[in-house]
Structure 1
C-alpha cells in the first residue's frame, strides 16, 4: 500500500481519489471545503485537506510525505503546479491539461530523478497510448482522433453539458487548432472543417478542428498526417460560431454603466448554468481512434479503436470522469507496480510504446468497464 495525494477534488479528481483508495491510502486536497466534503461523502476512506496549490512552499511541504502525486488542478494552474511538484522531487501523474508544453520540464525532471506522466486522460491520454503502441508495430502515415463528451438528453439550443468549467470549453472553441498535413504543421481556426460522422448507438455527430494533438506534434514528427477533432451534436457549432463572431468570447473588457467586464467572463457566467452537468445527469463519451500505416511486409493496415462509455448509476460517476480519471489511475498503479520507471516528463505516447504498459492500462480500464473495441483491416 502506497501513500498517495490527489491535488483537486473536482469531478475527475474525486473519481481518481476514490479509485486509488481501493488499494492505497489517499489524501485528497482542494481549495474548496465543499468539494472535499462531497468527495468524502462518496468515500469515507479519503483523508481531506484544504490546500491552495499557488502557495509554493506550502504545496511542497504538503506533498513531502507522499509516494506519488496525482494532479487534477485547473489547466491555468497546471504548469506551475507541475513544476513545483518536480522541484520537490516527487513523482507525478497529471491530468490538468495545461496549455504550455510539458516537455519544457523534461530536463528538470531528469535532474531531480523523477517520473512525470502528463496528459493522462482520455484525449489527450488514451488516444496517445494507442498511438504510441502501434508506432512500434507499424510504419504509420495517419492518425485521427475524434472525441466528445455529450449529454444523453439534448436540450436546445446547445445540446451540450460540460463536466468542467465553461471557460475551459470556450478555450477549446477559441484556441487555434494545430494539425499535421503532409508532414507540415497547419494552423486553422477552431470550429473549422465541420463534418458529419456516424456513430453506432448515438447517430450523427458533428466534428470540428480543435487543438488536441499537443505533445505528439513533437514526439511523432515522422507521421505525415495527424488530426484531432471534437464531437458535438449537430447544430451546436453553428450556435457557438454566432456567439464567437458576435464578440461574446472576447477577453478585452467593455464598460457597461461604469462597470468594466470582459464579454468572456460574462458569457462563462451565463453558460455555466446552461452547460452545468448535474451530479447524476446521464452523459456519454464517444471516441474513435484511426491509425493507418504499413507492416513489415509492406501491407497497408488500418487500426480503429472505438469507445462508447456512459454514466455509471451504480457509482454515480460521470463517463467523462471515468474515462479520464481511470486512465490516470491506471498509469499511477502501473508506475507504483514498477512497470514504468524511466525518469523525465512522459506524454502518454511514450508510455504506450511499451507493450506491458499498454496491456496493463487497457486491462485496468476493462476491469472498470471502460472498454475499447478494436477493428483491424
Structure 2
C-alpha cells in the first residue's frame, strides 16, 4: 500500500494514472499533478476510484518540493516534459522520494538530448540513499530491458543491436504526431547517429533507410534516427560492437515534415510576431492535433522490438524480441492510443517493482542496469506481452 505522485497529464500521464488506479493493492493513493489542473480533473473523471489532483509548476523545484511535502508520496512518476527532468530529480532528492521517468533530459533551447545532466546526480542520490530510475517507457525502457534480458539469459556476448519501432496505426489526419509534437519533430529532424566500435557515427537526417516486414503490420520503410537509449546501452551491454535505432514513417509523413522544414516551421529559435516571441516549432505544436486526442480515431497496431546478434556457448545466435500493441484495444481499456500506452505501462510496472523492493539501489540507474527478469515476468499481465523469434545468424534482416 503506497502513495504515488504522477507529474504530467498528457497522453502518457493519462495511461499511467489509469494503470495505477487498476492496482489499488500497490497504489493505494494517487495524486495527479500538472501545470493545468483541469487536465488532471478530466482524467480523474474517467477512473473507477477517486484520486487527488493538484496544480504544479514542474519548472520550479520549490513548487515541486511543496507538493511532495504536502502529499508525502512513496514514489514520483515523471511523465511531464523532458525539459523538466532536472528540476523534478532535484525535488525528489531534496525530499528523499524515489524517482522514475520515461525520457532523458532535453535542452529547451537546443535540439539535443542526453543523460549527462541526469547521470551527474549519481553521487548525490547515492549519498542520500535515494533511487532514481531513468528511461522506463518503451523506447527507452522496454527496449533496454529486452537487451538486458538477452545479456542475462540468452547470450554470453551481444555484438550488434538494432532497435525497431513501427507504428502501423492510422488516425485519419493528413499529419499529426503520436506524442508531444515539439519533442517528436526535434528528434526526427536531427542528424541520425549510431554507435559502432567505440565511436559515434553521424548521418544526415533520415538519410539511412531500410525495409522490414513487421509481424502484425507488414512491410514498412524505416529510417535511422538517434535515440536516447543508444547512449546508455552502448555503455552497459558488454561486448557490444554496434547499436542502431530505426523508426517507420510513411511517405506522406516524410513529405509533410520536409515541407514544414523547408518553410522554417521546425525551427526552435524564437521569432517575434507582433511583439510576442515564440519559436515556430512551439507555434506548430499549438495548431497540430493534441496527441492525447488521437485515441478514439486511431486504428491499427504498433510493433516495437530489438534484434540481438551475438555469441552463446561459442556459436553465433540472433533473436528478435518484440511487442505488438493494438491502438483500439488500448483506447477501450484506458482511453489512449498505443504510443502513450506502450510508454505508460512500463513506467507503472517499474514503479511497482521499486515500491515492492524488487528493484532497489542507491543512486541513478538506467533500466538495463536493473534485473530484467521480474519485469519481463510481469509486463505481459500488465498489458504488453512479448514474443521472441530465433533468426538465422547468417542472414541480415535489414539488408
Q: When the two structures are superposed, what TM-score results if normalisation uses the length of structure 2? A: 0.84
1:335 Cα shift?
Answer: 1.3
1:256: how far off?
Answer: 6.4
1:52 alignment counterpart = 57
Preserved contact between residue 10 and residue 292 of structure 2 (Cα < 8 Å): no
- Measured after TM superposition, the shift of residue 301 of structure 1 is 0.6
The answer to whether the 8 Å contact 1:150/1:232 transfers is no
Q: In structure 1, which of residues 240, 245, 268 is the aligned counterpart of residue 285 of structure 2?
A: 268
Mark the runs of 5 or more structure 1 residues left unpaired by the alignment.
none
Q: Indicate conservation of the 8 Å contact 1:303/1:374, yes or no.
A: yes
Deviation of the 1:254 alpha carbon: 4.9
| Residue 131 of structure 1, CA deviation | 0.8
Query: Relative to structure 2, which stretch is displaced further, 309-318 or 127-136?
Result: 309-318
How far apart in 2 are the matches of 1:276 and 1:49? 19
CA distance in 2, matches of 1:55, 1:9: 17
Count of matched residue positions in the alignment of Structure 1 and Structure 2: 367
2:364 paired residue number: 345
User: Is residue 158–residue 238 contact of structure 2 (8 Å, CA) maintained in 1?
Assistant: no
Distance 1:274 1:237 in 2: 19
- Other structure's SS at 2:332 match: coil
- 2:379 equivalent to 1:372: no
Alignment equivalent of 1:116, drawn from 113, 120, 132: 132
> 1:232-311 alignment to 2 at 5 Å?
232-254=249-271, 262-270=279-287, 272-273=288-289, 277-283=293-299, 284-295=301-312, 297-311=313-327
Q: Residue 158 of structure 2 contacts residue 237 of structure 2 at CA under 8 Å; is this kept in 1?
A: no
The answer to whether the aligner puts 1:189 opposite 2:212 as a matched pair is no
1:190 deviates by: 3.0
State the SS of the aligned residue for 2:100.
strand
Q: CA deviation at 1:333?
A: 0.7
Distance 2:355 2:272 in 1: 53
SS at match of 2:120: helix
Give the SS at the match of 1:52: coil
Change (3 A) 1:221 1:359: closer
1:210 paired with 2:225, answer yes
Equivalent runs, 1:1-377 vs 2, <5 Å: 1-21=1-21, 22-23=23-24, 24=27, 25-43=29-47, 44-64=49-69, 65-98=72-105, 99-101=113-115, 102-137=118-153, 138=155, 139-153=157-171, 155-156=173-174, 158=175, 161-212=176-227, 213-220=230-237, 222-254=239-271, 262-270=279-287, 272-273=288-289, 277-283=293-299, 284-295=301-312, 297-311=313-327, 312-315=330-333, 316-351=335-370, 354=371, 358-377=372-391
Q: Confirm or deny: 8 A CA contact 1:162 1:275 kept in the other structure.
A: yes
Q: Secondary structure at the match of 2:207?
A: coil
> How far apart in 1 are the matches of 2:170 and 2:77?
30
TM normalised by structure 1 equals 0.89
CA deviations 1:7-58 (Å, max 9, x no partner) are: 1122111221222232221111111122111111111422111112222223
Cα 1:123–1:45, aligned 2, differ >3 Å: closer, same or farther? same
Cα distance in 2 for partners of 1:362, 1:118 equals 17
1:244-288 deviation digits (Å, cap 9, x = unpaired): 244332234456677765433343344x13977434222432213
How far apart are the structure 1 equivalents of 2:119 and 2:276? 41
CA RMSD of aligned residues (A): 2.3
User: Any idea what SS the aligned residue of 2:30 has?
Assistant: strand
